[in-house]
Structure 1
Amino acid sequence: MKTMSRAAVLLFALTAGIAPISADEDDPKPDARPAVPDDLIDDPHVREELGVNEFTAPSIKRIFDDLEKLTPLPADELVREMPKRMPLDRTDLALEIGFLIADGFMAVQGGHMAKIEPLAKDLQRYGRALGAGERVNRHAASLLENARKNNVEALKKELTATQRDVETDLIHLRDVDLAHLISLGGWVRALEVSSHAVQKKYTDERAKQLYREDIADYYEGIIGSLDPRISERDNLKEMRKIIAELRDIMILEEGKKPNEQTVKSISASAGKLATLALTRKK
């Protein structure tokens, strides 16, 4: 997915300052992480100066931008409600935050501002569970205030103020596994809804937005590069397998057109990925 709307980053800002999953000063396999696709990175100067490549998750903002081209987004037809009980495992927390961010973006995109307040409160809870700092609460308070006022413009201004702050925090995480998992969760949820949207209103042009084998390849490699205690979990191993299959499905050869059967396959795989991503550690 080539470019994504700025509305999602405001919700992503609530996770700024979250503590890493574990210290990563002695990462046993740093070179295993694949390069981030160039068009998923917001600022080439940041990429150059801060080494945004193998070690940094792609901008979740970019992952959501393409959803603008696929509106209306049928997120309400694919509801993924989080259990009231918080997960105990930090991997589960990170993946679920990615889902919450994606759902928040789609709520803003669809003008469903009433959904933002409960979602922002959920993000606060998840942020606290991960050891987030005071800045998370400050962003959450601003988001809640403007959601109550239904003030979309104020939300956009808040986004402008926090976007660079969020990016910098992610870049400087000593252990980037958390950032990758949040990004992975957001991508899975975005793919689930976007592929369903294309199925409901199919055109070749809309379908082309789903043919991003480079992004699938990136996330497949990222899962393999995570700490083995994470990457060897049953649900993540199965996710990696499905994403590898998606990578092949998403290849659109030169001169070829998208087709509805491929979109159907992508949608089915995205649904499986979403279920696996929300399968908590027992």
Structure 2
Amino acid sequence: MIRLVNLVVLTLFTGVFAAAGAGETGHLSAEQLAKAVRSDSISIPTPGELFAALGKTGKTNWAGQYRGPIPVTYSNRAQIALNLGGLIADGFIAVEAKDGQQVKNIGSDIIKLAKALGVSEKLLGRGNSINEFADQNEWDTLQEELEATQNEVKSSMQSHADQDLVILVTLGGWIRGTQVVTTAIVKDYNEGSARVLRQPALVHFMQSKINEVSPELRGEALVKDVSQQLGEIEKLVSFPPGKAPTVDEVRKINTAVGKMMTEIESKELPK
């Protein structure tokens, strides 16, 4: 079982957190993270901490990180799981933007996709709570509720022997989170932030988890494509230790994960 406290998506943000204030907080450095991520027991900071840390490197335009609505009528379970992870990451972005309506919109879509996977009916109550807290602008409580929703989804999947789908939810969130991080760095480039994008061990770890899913799921066209593209991304984030990637190199990473997100969102699955 993958014992991650929060989405591995947000592991990449941990490097930003370390660069922004490792001396003050005692969090893992980027190099320590690259080694520690090989273990399933790594403790991931909360999304609120991670997004706040990203803000330390410059004023982040969170609303500018929004994307257009995605379909919630997918029939392929692997595609649903990948998109569900991305939507959960979007929820945290909306909370950082303090945009109550966007939080409610995303929360509604999260519930729809989760129900399509047959997860617990308890999520309906979570959806009502998200709407209530958004109306009252209770942002800290909303972050906690999103984390609880995420954990509820994973717990329900595990109880239904859908561990493979838990891996894909985690991966979908990681891809979307990486897209957000690289977009922010390209728009407000500095070497300190860019240097933490050196995460070949993390990408290799995610790809190894795909290799652990069932042969049937691993053989699906979308899952095969995502796995192959992760191999290409591993090369892009394998620049020399201590060297910050240029803004053009960060842009290449952003383009690569953006391509993956487009494919994951598309109603037309790869052949």
Establish whether TM, by shorter chain, passes 0.5.
yes
Query: Residue 82 of structure 1: which of 70, 84, 97 is its match?
Result: 70
Counterpart Cα distance in 1 of 2:182 and 2:111: 29
Partner amino acid, structure 1, of 2:54: L
Paired residue secondary structure (1:183): helix
Match of 2:266 in 1: 279
**DSSP 3-state at the match of 1:82:** coil
TM-score scaled to structure 1, two decimals? 0.71
Inter-CA distance 241–62: structure 2 relative to 1 (3 Å threshold): farther
Equivalences for 1:22-33 in 2 at 5 Å? Answer: none
1:3 to 6, 9, 14: 14
Which amino acid in structure 2 is aligned with residue 257 of structure 1?
A
Q: CA RMSD in A?
A: 3.4
Which of 70, 81, 87 lines up with 2:54 in the alignment? 70
Code of the residue aligned with 1:3 in structure 2: it is T
Alpha-carbon separation, structure 2, partners of 1:93 and 1:131: 11
- In 2, the alpha carbon distance for the partners of 1:126 and 1:171 equals 13
Aligned to 1:258: 245
Query: What do residues 206-236 of structure 1 show as CA deviations (whole Å, max 9, x unaligned)?
Result: 1123221122111222223222332222232
> Match of 1:138?
125
* Worse overlay, 58-67 or 95-104: 58-67
- Alpha carbons of 1:103 and 1:168: their partners in 2 closer, same or farther (altered >3 Å)? closer
The letter of the residue matching 1:70 is L
Q: Give unpaired runs (5+ residues) of structure 1.
A: 6-35, 42-46
SS in 2 for 1:86: coil
Aligned length: 237
- Contact 1:177–1:227 (CA<8 Å) still a contact in 2? yes
User: Does structure 2 retain, via aligned residues, the 8 Å contact 1:97–1:126?
Assistant: yes
| CA distance in 2: counterparts of 1:3 and 1:253, whole angstroms | 19
Q: Answer whether contact 1:67 1:190 (CA < 8 A) is retained.
A: no
1:169 aligns with 2:155: yes
2:238 aligned with 1:227: no
Secondary structure at the counterpart of residue 3 of structure 1 = helix
Q: What amino acid does structure 2 have at the position aligned with 1:93?
A: I
CA 1:39–1:120 in 2, change beyond 3 Å: closer, same or farther? farther
Give the TM-score, by structure 2 length: 0.74
Question: Aligned partners of 2:217 and 2:150: how far apart in 1?
Answer: 29
User: Contact (CA 8 Å) 2:119, 2:157: kept in 1 or not?
Assistant: no
Asked which structure has the greater RCO (Cα within 8 Å, sep 6+), the reply is 1
Q: Deviations over 1:176-203 (max 9, x none)?
A: 1111111111111111121111111110
Matches within 5 A, 1:91-170: 91-156=78-143, 158=145, 162=148, 166=152, 169=155
Going from structure 1 to structure 2, the CA distance change for 1:129 and 1:38 (only over 3 Å counts) comes to: farther
1:158 to partner: Cα distance: 4.1
